[in-house]
Structure 1
Amino acid sequence: MTPRPEAGPRRHPGGRLAGRRALVSGGDSGIGRAVALAFAAEGADVAILYLDEHGDADETVARIEEEGRRGLAIAGDISEKRHCDEAVAQVADRLGGIDVLVNNAAEQHQVSDIAEITEEQLERTFRTNIFSMFFVTQAALPHIPEGGAIVNTTSVTAYKGNPSLIDYSATKGAIVAFTRSLSGALAERGIRVNAVAPGPIWTPLIPATFDAESVESFGANVPMGRPGEPAEVAPSYVFLASDDASYMSGQVLHPNGGTIVGG
């Protein structure tokens, strides 16, 4: 990509996740990579789940290890429950448990008319974006202790919609409801559940989804007039994963370039 997305942490690390073990789905690139690197910089060991971008995943793990932390990458399709069960079990075994789970993996497909959304695309988008959160969370919960945290990636599209990303936006709305419902279900266990709803962020998903003209103007319609960098979103995840957010659950943070939601 040109320019290359900025993934490295922007602040001096403060050890806010020291000794913790994190699992990040979709951690090979984009927001997931930035979160994995920010967690490592704050002292966490980090495992990532990814589909098949092996070079990107290897780079992410190498950068985690440069921070002096353990890194682990597991490839496979998280839309399939069996893979999620096996991958999470491997992470828990290798890291000795899971303190923080970040459900971040997603896919999107631009269409100009809802009639163009095939049954196959609809099922695929929902399986990748929301079914996987159920599968990974179900597998991870037995390994998450009291005081643990779950952070889900939703989107500004859950609140504002997007006429060319109807199925994607629908999954992101489902993630908001999933986050709020799960936070109530896990409160007695002392596990916090929150979400982050990024606006237009410059990640590999953008040129892979949109035509050249749309990519050129990507992010221009927000008040700040530009797309955000993954490194500008990652601190929201660090905050929600850390004890700084010990009195927050069922909430959504909005790093979106100034777009007002819910107002």
Structure 2
Amino acid sequence: MSAGTGRLEGKRALVVGGAGSIGAAIVTKLVAEGAMVVAADRNASALAGVTAEGSVSSAVIDIADAQSVADGVAEAVSAMGGLDIVVNATGISHQGRTIDEETIEGWNEVLAVNLTGSFVLVKATLEHLGEGSSYVFVSSTGAERGLPLNLAYGATKAGLANFTKGLSNAVAARGIRVNTVGPGLMAYPVRNDQDSTDRRVGRTEVVPLGRLGEGSDIANVVAFLASDEAGWVTGQNVYVDGGSLAR
């Protein structure tokens, strides 16, 4: 993680999905840049490791539950005295399911987290944001690709990209910016024997810059988009993928 510049000094940030690999990196980066941060996640125990790393408080938010979102946002606003930055880094997928295997229930589950969740979060936070504030949603390069074995995921991420564009116009007059960061192939922690070194090498070969992404790669871009340095940047889907989409 690169050293902070103080570009977010005095800003108050809520990071939902703050216990995930990317979310935790975003929390760490925003704190390093001087922001006051509430890290939120549905996994309360996982938040302990994130909040222990710096001056971060926590809240439990299940992005798929509107009441949980409302309660968590109220807690964050109370803790920080307001909001300037809202980041949604939540996401789930059903990787490997064919169209025959995916179910309506499964489709709706992914939709609730990956797309509807951002709408619910905006509805709960918008009244607390003023001029100079910003939303940053974490999407995926899957928004630009056909994903036959991850249909719901690709569809929701593409939807999030369009939601970002529409919302950016809807709130521009209030001085609020809205952007999306789309990670490419990431070097997530190894979770099972199938995620072997050979597989990682194969994944790396499709990335022009020659390596998989780290959480800090995404966090650095999120911090920029949330800062006043990006004051004329809104409605954008910024892909951070080592050049993969340019192939």
Match of 1:139 in 2: 124
Match of 1:212 in 2: 195
3-state DSSP of counterpart to 2:178: strand
Q: Deviations over 1:142-178 (max 9, x none)?
A: 1111110111111101012322211101110000001
Matched letter for residue 178 of structure 2 = V
Query: 1:130 touches 1:175 (CA, 8 Å); kept in 2?
Result: yes
Correspondence 1:34 to 2:19: no
Match of 1:246 in 2: 231
Query: 2:206 touches 2:244 (CA, 8 Å); kept in 1?
Result: no
Match of 2:75 in 1: 90
Match of 2:47 in 1: 57
Query: 2:98 touches 2:150 (CA, 8 Å); kept in 1?
Result: no
Query: 2:99 touches 2:151 (CA, 8 Å); kept in 1?
Result: yes
Identity of aligned residues (%): 34
Match of 1:68 in 2: none
Moved more, 73-82 or 233-242: 73-82
Matched letter for residue 212 of structure 1 = D
Aligned ranges 1:1-263 → 2 under 5 Å: 9-10=1-2, 12-52=3-43, 54=45, 56-65=46-55, 71-204=56-189, 207=191, 211-212=194-195, 216=200, 217-260=202-245
Deviation at 1:113, TM superposition (A): 1.5
Q: Deviations over 1:107-160 (max 9, x none)?
A: 111124111111111111010111110111110111111110111111101012
Give the TM-score, by structure 1 length. Answer: 0.87
> Quick one: structure 1 residues 187 and 42, their matched pair in 2 at CA, closer, same or farther if it must change by over 3 Å?
same
Query: 1:150 touches 1:193 (CA, 8 Å); kept in 2?
Result: yes
Structure 2 gap ranges (5+): none
Give the TM-score, by structure 2 length. Answer: 0.93
Runs of 4+ deviating beyond 6 Å: none
Q: Distance in 2 between matches of 1:30 and 1:123?
A: 24
Deviation at 1:202, TM superposition (A): 2.0
Structure 1 gap ranges (5+): 1-8, 66-70
Moved more, 25-34 or 175-184: 25-34
Q: Deviations over 1:38-88 (max 9, x none)?
A: 00000001112212251x3111111132xxxxx122224210111111110
